[in-house]
Structure 1
Amino acid sequence: MKNPCFDLLSELEHRLLEIDNNNRSPIDKCSLKITLCQDLTKTLRQLYFQASLETVNQQIHFFKTIKPKFVSELHFNLEVLNYYKERPRGSKKLKGQHINECMEKASSFMIKHCEFRNYMNMQSDHLDELYFTNRDYCPKLHGSFEYPSDPDFSSPVDPTLSCLIAADRYMQFLKDQKFTLKNPSLDPSWDSQKTLDWHGSKTDLVELIYALHAAGKLKGDLKHSFLVMEKALNVDVGNYYRLYTDIKLKKNPNSLLDVLKTSLLDKIRTENQ
């Protein structure tokens, strides 16, 4: 189960990047991403039923980590598509009101599930077996969460997790829209003065970001991490998926991490002398 799921996740990231890099309108891009997520989620569902997730840990990993990446991407793009469709064409004031209404809706959902959101943000795991194993939805235990639309392919809580991940991303999207409305000539996602210069290779940066994600040290969407890091470090990585594929084929795929470890230990050793 592990390899097919990760291959499918890599395909999702790669094809999302391709869509982002084309010259279509935001609405067209959202539509393409929605279709992609629907298709790949169907494939993920087939893989799930073909595999045998016999242990509790396997089920938890699937419903807490794997499936929400696909479903949250779908929910996020549905919300963004609706935003563009419903956005008024009038004055800045009307557009600002529309943004505020959307933000209030997203915020209300996050407040409704604030306790579970805190559970996830604190990386808690003591309730994982109750939340992320394939068991019947029990109103007494799970009544505060979203009811699974596909119970055979859900844990009681993974639908809520996917919606929360999407809501967090959507809220940031709305903040960027609000910033752009007030400052049309400025980049909403980063202040151009708050950058550093990256002196490593693009492959080094890809290795670092993937390693941080793999270790759970960077939360959220991989694509968003690259966008932020590119702006922060003043570098254009390009097709990070292709570079990651090259890294996997290297004899030593973690060469940068080895250098970082050695350099830090040498520095500590020198300063302690």
Structure 2
Amino acid sequence: MKKKLANILSEINLEIDEIDIYGYDIIPVSLAMVHRLQGILSDLRNDLQIYVFPSKEEEIYFFKNQKPELLGRLLYFHKIYRIEVQCPTGSNDVIRLYLNKELDSLTYFFNRNLDFYQYYRSHSTVHDELYFLRGKVDFRLCTDSAQFDKDPNFSTGYDYKVAKILANEMLRIYLNKKLQKLECDSYIEEKQTIATKTPIRFTGKKNALIELGYALVSSGDINHGNIEIKEFMEYLSSIFNIDLGGYYDAYIAMKERKDQTAYLKKLEECLAKRMDEK
């Protein structure tokens, strides 16, 4: 049984590694994983009706480690499915509030099961026979009413709590990355909105703006000289809504031409003319 479960877990983990958990098709993919894991656990349930563990240590290992690994992944994908299906349509602020509420629910479970969290995370084994052998549930310690619904041949009660801990740890990572992606998307949208609303455009030649950019960086007057040309070119690209890609090639061509600073001289002439007119 131990080797069989190890092989199953290895196969499942390989399948999970291939999943784009933040992809557009996560709803059908997560649902498919739920069905896949339900089938595996159902087969295990049937096997355990007749299987006799050779020792209590192997039974403890099964209910403390192997079954929770499978059940935890089932709970994880089922929760992802529910989160994605029930995610509200609206602004990023609405979605952010929704995701944070899901994170809060993980904290609520943690607070309700703090003692067991500490026992499990400290790798303690003192109460393993009570927690992970079938028929040992003490309702004075385990007050979760859901225990009355568990299959006594396939659960000790606490194997579910371990699975829930594993699922919640994966969900915490998932939700935090969703929030980070949301913040990133919001930042990009904000920049695009500003660029769209800003009436200012650089309508001269791209090489002219590149020449100006190099001149400003070379002067040391931008951030007291603490800025890279790449960073400043990206900044000019964003505020003037122009693609300055290939700026280095333009700079090399600028160095090789006869009049290296033609645009800067033009600016000097235009400003002098304006001053003379005023």
TM-score bracket for the superposition, by shorter chain length: 0.5 to 0.7
The CA distance in 1 between the partners of 2:44 and 2:5, in whole Å, is 7
CA deviations over 1:182-216 (Å, ceiling 9, x no partner)? 11399xxxxxxxxxxxxxxxxxxxxxxxxxxxxxx
User: Which structure 1 residue ranges, 5 or more long, are not aligned?
Assistant: 187-273
**After superposition, where does 1:49-68 map in structure 2 within 5 Å?**
49-68=49-68
The CA distance in 1 between the partners of 2:131 and 2:146, in whole Å, is 12
Alpha-carbon spacing, 1:123–1:160, altered in 2? closer, same or farther (3 Å): same
- 1:169 equivalenced with 2:196 (yes/no): no
**After superposition, where does 1:36-47 map in structure 2 within 5 Å?**
36-47=36-47
Name 1:97's counterpart in structure 2. Answer: 97
Contact 2:131 2:137 in 1 (8 A): no
Name 1:156's counterpart in structure 2. Answer: 157
User: Which structure 2 residue ranges, 5 or more long, are not aligned?
Assistant: 188-278
- 1:178 equivalenced with 2:143 (yes/no): no
Shift of 1:11: 2.6
The CA distance in 2 between the partners of 1:153 and 1:144, in whole Å, is 17
Name 1:223's counterpart in structure 2. Answer: none
The CA distance in 2 between the partners of 1:12 and 1:150, in whole Å, is 24
- 1:117 equivalenced with 2:104 (yes/no): no
* Aligned sequence identity (%): 23
The CA distance in 2 between the partners of 1:3 and 1:50, in whole Å, is 18
The CA distance in 2 between the partners of 1:24 and 1:44, in whole Å, is 32
The residue type equivalent to 2:133 in the other structure is T
Shift of 1:144: 5.1
Contact 2:30 2:81 in 1 (8 A): yes
Alpha-carbon spacing, 1:54–1:143, altered in 2? closer, same or farther (3 Å): farther
The CA distance in 2 between the partners of 1:180 and 1:134, in whole Å, is 43
What is the TM-score with the length of structure 1 in the denominator?
0.62
What is the TM-score with the length of structure 2 in the denominator?
0.61
The CA distance in 1 between the partners of 2:20 and 2:181, in whole Å, is 19
Q: Kindly name which structure, 1 or 2, has the bigger radius of gyration based on alpha carbons.
A: 2
The residue type equivalent to 1:80 in the other structure is I
The CA distance in 1 between the partners of 2:183 and 2:18, in whole Å, is 30
Name 1:192's counterpart in structure 2. Answer: none
Matched positions, count: 186
**After superposition, where does 1:178-217 map in structure 2 within 5 Å?**
178-184=179-185
Alpha-carbon spacing, 1:179–1:168, altered in 2? closer, same or farther (3 Å): same
The CA distance in 2 between the partners of 1:16 and 1:178, in whole Å, is 21
Shift of 1:146: 5.2
